[in-house]
Amino acid sequence: MKLFLKFNFNTVSKKVVESKFNELNLEYKILGFGEVELLKKLTPEESMALNNSLNDYGIEIVESQKGILVQRIKDVIIDMVFNEETNVNVKSSVYLSEKLGHSYGYLSNLFSEITYSSIENFIIIQKIEYSKQLLLNTDLNLTEIAFRLNYSSVAHLSTQFKNTTGITPSAFQRIIFKRRIIAQQKND
């Protein structure tokens, strides 16, 4: 039997982090996505245990200042794309500069230096991932999804979707539909 799950990436990540900090009896406060304030200094043993515990879930503790800022850039982008309340109609460069308090040129250069990719590419990847989730888990059509993700047109979304995934959004929907029918037939 196959199950199809719908989940919110941000909520799942937050729950994993909370669970691991609680398991280790650490005093903390979650400040935002990917940002935790420790309320007391960790011992070397606690630090190693926390690091190992989080690594099991692919979560790393970022320690360099540049790495921290790059992670904050990623977090702001993910929040900008996935969080409906922060759905912004300003250019992403302006939004990032305002949220992070640095010029977009500086943020862009730093991001490229650390990740070997551009901020624009990261935004496109996040938008395509979110559009896939919306296609899978909602009844929204491509026009509504393009509007929600601040695309200028459905054609622009479709082009970026195909360039990123190798298939069109319509082909993606057909594949998912066929997989669900096959899974349903196996369960009958």
pLDDT tens digits along 123-154:
999 999 999 999 988 888 999 999 888 898 99
Question: Which DSSP category does 134 fall into?
Answer: H
CATH of domain 119-188: 1.10.10.60
Q: Is residue 155 a contact partner of residue 145, using CB atoms and an 8 Å limit?
A: no
pLDDT confidence of residue 91: 84
Residue 2 clears pLDDT 70, i.e. is over it? no
Cβ neighbour number for residue 62 with a 10 Å cutoff: 13
Cβ neighbour number for residue 156 with a 10 Å cutoff: 12
Residue 68 clears pLDDT 70, i.e. is over it? yes
Report d(CA 42, CA 111) in Å as an integer: 29
Residue 5 clears pLDDT 80, i.e. is over it? no
Q: What average pLDDT does the structure give for the chain? A: 86
Question: Please, which residues bridge with residue 35 across strands?
Answer: 32
* Average of per-residue pLDDT across 51-67: 81
Measured in Å, how far apart are the chain's first and last C-alpha atoms? 10
Residue 100 clears pLDDT 70, i.e. is over it? yes
* Average of per-residue pLDDT across 44-71: 83
Residues of the chain with CATH 1.10.10.60: 119-188
Please report where in the chains the tokens 């007391």 appear, as a residue.
40
- How would residue 121 be classed by pLDDT, with cut points 50, 70 and 90? very high
